[in-house]
Amino acid sequence: MTVDGNLCIGCELCSEICPDVFEMGDDGQAHAVHPEKCDDLPCCNGAAESCPVEAIKIE
């Protein structure tokens, strides 16, 4: 689970959908602060599917 900083436009959608995994940084972009939680949290996939610029990659 990674956020591509070259693509993220800082819309905050992923941090709203899955706050246990994604947080907005001071740089105005989302960061996957707890990617390991994606094993148990279906909201990770929801966030990835909802990202308008497809910046969230599930590995």
The helix/strand/coil state of 52 is coil
Q: Do the Cβ atoms of 22 and 3 come closer than 8 Å?
A: yes
Q: Do the Cβ atoms of 21 and 54 come closer than 8 Å?
A: no
DSSP type of residue 14: H
Q: Report how many residues bind ligand SF4 under the rule CB under 6 A.
A: 14
Q: Considering the rule CB under 6 A, would residue 9 count as an interface residue with ligand SF4? A: yes
Tokens of 5: 């900083």
The least distance separating ligand SF4 from the CB of residue 35, rounded to whole angstroms, comes to: 13
Q: Considering the rule CB under 6 A, would residue 30 count as an interface residue with ligand SF4? A: yes
Q: Considering the rule CB under 6 A, would residue 51 count as an interface residue with ligand SF4? A: yes
Contact residues for ligand SF4, defined by CB under 6 A: 3, 8-14, 30, 51-53, 55-56
